[in-house]
A and B are shown apart, each in its own frame.
Chain A
Amino acid sequence: MTPISTGCDWDFGLIERYDAAIGAAASAYGLDTYANQIEIISSEQMLDAYASSGLPIGYFHWSYGKEFIRNERAYRSGMQGLAYEIVINSDPCISYLMEENSMMMQALVIAHAAYGHNSFFKGNYLFRQWTCADGILDYLVFARRYVSDCEERHGIEAVEEVLDSCHALMHHGVDRYKRPAPLSLHGEAARAASREEHARRQFDDLWRTLPSAPRAGAASPARFPAEPEENILYFVEKHSPRLAPWQRELVRIVRKLAQYFYPQVQTKVMNEGWASFWHYTLINRLHEQGLVDDGFMLEFLQSHTNVVAQRGFDEPGYQGINPYALGFAMMRDIRRMCEQPTDEDRHWFPQLAGTDWVKSLDFAMRNFKDESFIAQYLSPRLIREFRLFAVADHWRQDELQVDSIHDDEGYRRVRSLLAGQHKRETLVPDIQVARYEHDGDRSITLQHRIHRDRPVAEASARETLKHLARLWGFDVRLEGIREDGVVEYCQECKV
């Protein structure tokens, strides 16, 4: 076949033809995607989109302005390039292409975002569980309108105060487990009826004649909440004694947004790896079909290798493990293990060796997040290729110690440490609402379960407590509890 285009200029007709070709290749591999909406924007608009975490519509807040100013400065001074693309987890899935990109770049971005990310959003369990792709745009519109209505009614300052406080607690405004759905009136009635029925069947008048023993725990008031509550913003929204209804709604908006971003943080490696794997695979497929020429491929490979390059820890510009590199390598590795397994792979991954790689990859994409994905699929071969090693940094020791390296003894250890590095608990301290003195002074107590002596940043925690106290309206306390149960510190913020 003849190439779709030559040269680097793009136009709308070409984009449509490339999209059709890439889409055909994608469906040949069975990628299941939301409908695509591709929007062409300028670099300035890209900067705008950056500031609001890529969301097309956001409420107004100074912190977004700060983000915008920071990005703009970095961009104008040449310290930071712009991303080639932004993709939004919505249905239809919106991808932004920059007008400055070359035709090759547009095709790459279509393959990467409109088919790679898109199918990940649609398939991965975290996204399915926690985000509602067809509702997010409407919700954003609602949020923006609600916030500006509040600003009109209560003043910009008052709204900003609440939002500031919520943003401070945003990391702790996320549910990690589903709550039971609230009972409907109908269900409640049915339950009461069945309880009565049970009592009727069990009825025996003899029970009445038994002397009743005094109940031991009845006098002490019940603890509230019965179990520690990890979603602090949720607790505030539901139980704060002081918040006005509109403030409660603002808390809810911030909480919902935090929840919306939660899967993205948890699946960075997988998401980027999946998208990179598919742009690589799809564009190569176009090349095999003769739809793109060699010049296109050379340009493509250059961009591609830039994206998935991993620097060593001692090279200049090292910024930790590149999620694109790790994710791409792991996806490719899974395919390799399916198609050409070695004896080592058969030993480590009997479930993969020799299976259909499309199905195996699809299974991996659907059912894991970064932490479990790495723990499940990182192969010894990749550990060797990346020359991964783990360093232990223990505060009681003066020196760092190499914990394990890429050898037989170290594979499992390195793998579990790398997986642990992607755990949410590693990034965010475990702080939960432990007590609410509902009948007393109405204060709440947060408990920080100190894990492996890792402290919280004290000054920042104090400021955050102030924010919480503002939302709560009464005293708030933060207790740090060591693993052996001893209270190590206690911060208090009085109102």
Chain B
Amino acid sequence: MLHLIDRRLNPRNRSAVNRSRFLRRYKEHIRRAVKDMIAERSIADMEKAGEVSVPAKDVSEPSFRHAAGGDWESVHPGNREFVKGDLIERPQGGAGGGAASEPGSGSGADDFTFTLSREEFLSIFFDDLELPHLARNSLGSVKKAKQVCAGYVKEGPPCNLCVTRTLKTALGRRIALGAPAQECLELALENLERLREEGGDAGAIEALEREIAEMEGRIRRLPFLDEMDLRYRHRVSVPQPVARAVMFCLMDVSGSMDERKKDLAKRFFTLLYLFLTRKYEQVDLVFIRHTDDAEEVDEQTFFYDTKSGGTVVCSALELMHEICKARYPASSWNIYAAQASDGDAFGADVGKSGRFLRDSLLPLARYYAYIEIPDAAAGRGSALWAQYEELARASGNFAMRRVSRREEIYPVFRELFSKEKA
């Protein structure tokens, strides 16, 4: 007797729980691996899935088992040349035949390597980070829909039936349809009473009584609830605006910003971008580079095109302000900005930038991060740094950090966005 069962439609991924248990257990290793990955990866690959390996000894499950050594005999097939008593040189890498049959020694020395999915990668990547001052500015391109009540309709599924409304309608219908009969009835009752007082003839009284009975019957026969009374709640889907963000990348591309510094800045921008895409469904990017004057460019130009000149920070800030006003009004966009510079700024520009930032930009922006990438040699902060430091003390949505080596990018980023401890 055969039972044939088709299980193909059963839920797949039965091992998902076991897999997540595994990831949880090796979170530390995985986190470390993700960190290394960030250092090695090019930015375009940053949000792809990644391969993680955990040292074999850490995932191995211990048990009592034999090690190589001692006396063993093992039987093998395919003998062509040996006769009893032949000596064979011991193969390199441990004892030969015998040890090979031990349990568990087969899959040994290699690291345990596996692939993290993109989601797993990102969630570890941004584990316990949070966007400060996260707010949903409304409006924007429509993506989501929300169900809202929109009055009543005569047809609908039973679950949407509105009882009070239905009963009200029924009551109205009964009153309306019963009104003529009611009028006749009242008239007849009045007549009947008068006739009885006057002692009128029996035939007329009988006719009236018949009429009364008929009218009462008509009223009684009105259905309490009719199909036409039914009212259903009406729900329509109303497009909901989705919170969206714009991210401004401001970078100093003057002569003093060399490849290394640009690379660091790029890493920071990428991190911020990835992070924002996780929180907002739509993130626009605006690249502004500046030397002594600022211009909006595309990404490729921003990072790879060389242009040299002096440094006027304020020009970039002003441009950003203009773009904000023109395209990204603060009422409907969450504005984030990250500025990278080596801090080379001189004279009046420093003070002017600081003031402009404080008065015009910070009130608009959700968050403004400034990354200074000093020359490896320089020990103390630049003039711009000093100016900005005052700002940082005064306002809550401004943060600044100094980064000089590649490894520092991620820690600094984490530091900026780590969840505030309650």
| Chain B residues whose C-beta falls within 8 Å of the C-beta of A464 in the assembled complex | 62-64
Among residues 77 to 111 in chain B, which have CB atoms less than 8 Å away from a CB atom of chain A? 77-80, 82-90, 95-103
Residue of chain B at shortest CB distance from A49: B14
> Are B8 and A99 interface neighbours, CB within 8 A?
yes
> Are A19 and B2 interface neighbours, CB within 8 A?
yes
Does A398 have its Cβ within 8 Å of any Cβ on chain B?
yes
> Are A35 and B4 interface neighbours, CB within 8 A?
no
The tally of residues in A whose CB lies under 8 Å from a CB in B reads: 102
Q: Which of A64, A321, A392, A429 contacts B77 (CB 8 A)?
A: A321
| Chain B residues whose C-beta falls within 8 Å of the C-beta of A138 in the assembled complex | none
Nearest CB on A from B416, distance (A): 32
| Chain B residues whose C-beta falls within 8 Å of the C-beta of A239 in the assembled complex | none
Among residues 435 to 470 in chain A, which have CB atoms less than 8 Å away from a CB atom of chain B? 448, 450-464, 467
| Chain B residues whose C-beta falls within 8 Å of the C-beta of A389 in the assembled complex | 75-76, 79, 82
> In whole angstroms, how far apart are the Cα atoms of A23 and B1 in the complex?
9
> Are B83 and A313 interface neighbours, CB within 8 A?
no
> Are B66 and A429 interface neighbours, CB within 8 A?
yes
> In whole angstroms, how far apart are the Cα atoms of A451 and B114 in the complex?
38
Does A68 have its Cβ within 8 Å of any Cβ on chain B?
yes
> Are A402 and B88 interface neighbours, CB within 8 A?
yes
Q: Which of B21-29, B156-164, B238-246, B308-316 contacts A (4 or more CB under 8 A)?
A: B21-29
The 0/1 profile, CB within 8 Å of B marked 1, for residues 376-414 of chain A is: 000000000011111111110011111111110110001
| Chain A residues whose C-beta falls within 8 Å of the C-beta of B197 in the assembled complex | none
> Are A452 and B71 interface neighbours, CB within 8 A?
yes
| Chain A residues whose C-beta falls within 8 Å of the C-beta of B84 in the assembled complex | 402-405, 407, 409-410
> Are A39 and B103 interface neighbours, CB within 8 A?
no
| Chain B residues whose C-beta falls within 8 Å of the C-beta of A160 in the assembled complex | 21, 25
> Are A66 and B59 interface neighbours, CB within 8 A?
yes
Q: Which of B63, B80, B97, B101 contacts A426 (CB 8 A)?
A: B101
> In whole angstroms, how far apart are the Cα atoms of A38 and B22 in the complex?
31
| Chain B residues whose C-beta falls within 8 Å of the C-beta of A169 in the assembled complex | 63-64
> Are B78 and A15 interface neighbours, CB within 8 A?
no
| Chain B residues whose C-beta falls within 8 Å of the C-beta of A117 in the assembled complex | none
> In whole angstroms, how far apart are the Cα atoms of A96 and B14 in the complex?
15
| Chain B residues whose C-beta falls within 8 Å of the C-beta of A37 in the assembled complex | 2-3, 5
> Are B86 and A402 interface neighbours, CB within 8 A?
yes
| Chain B residues whose C-beta falls within 8 Å of the C-beta of A427 in the assembled complex | 101-103
The tally of residues in B whose CB lies under 8 Å from a CB in A reads: 65
Given contacts A64-B15, A402-B88, contact A428 B64 (CB under 8 A): yes
| Chain B residues whose C-beta falls within 8 Å of the C-beta of A400 in the assembled complex | 87-90, 96-97
> Are B75 and A417 interface neighbours, CB within 8 A?
yes
Residue of chain B at shortest CB distance from A464: B62
> Are B5 and A428 interface neighbours, CB within 8 A?
no
Given contacts A393-B73, A399-B88, A453-B71, contact A45 B18 (CB under 8 A): no
| Chain A residues whose C-beta falls within 8 Å of the C-beta of B87 in the assembled complex | 399-402
Given contacts A19-B2, A39-B5, A406-B79, contact A390 B74 (CB under 8 A): yes
> Are B67 and A44 interface neighbours, CB within 8 A?
no
> Are B75 and A12 interface neighbours, CB within 8 A?
no
Q: Which of A55-63, A174-182, A283-291, A351-359 contacts B (4 or more CB under 8 A)?
A: A55-63
The 0/1 profile, CB within 8 Å of A marked 1, for residues 5-43 of chain B is: 111101011110111111111000000000000000000
| Chain A residues whose C-beta falls within 8 Å of the C-beta of B74 in the assembled complex | 390-391, 393, 417, 421
Given contacts A41-B8, A313-B78, A454-B66, contact A65 B18 (CB under 8 A): yes
Residue of chain A at shortest CB distance from B18: A65
> In whole angstroms, how far apart are the Cα atoms of A430 and B64 in the complex?
9
| Chain A residues whose C-beta falls within 8 Å of the C-beta of B23 in the assembled complex | 65
> In whole angstroms, how far apart are the Cα atoms of A420 and B82 in the complex?
22
Q: Which of A387, A451, A461 contacts B80 (CB 8 A)?
A: A387
Q: Which of A40, A47, A393 contacts B8 (CB 8 A)?
A: A40
| Chain A residues whose C-beta falls within 8 Å of the C-beta of B79 in the assembled complex | 313, 387-389, 405-406
> Are A453 and B88 interface neighbours, CB within 8 A?
no
9 pairs of A and B residues whose beta carbons are closest in the complex: A312-B78, A454-B70, A65-B22, A65-B18, A463-B62, A313-B76, A389-B79, A453-B70, A457-B67
* Further 13 A-B residue pairs, CB within 8 A, beyond A51-B18, A421-B75, A464-B62: A36-B3, A40-B4, A48-B14, A52-B15, A65-B21, A160-B25, A320-B76, A387-B80, A395-B70, A403-B84, A405-B79, A454-B71, A455-B67
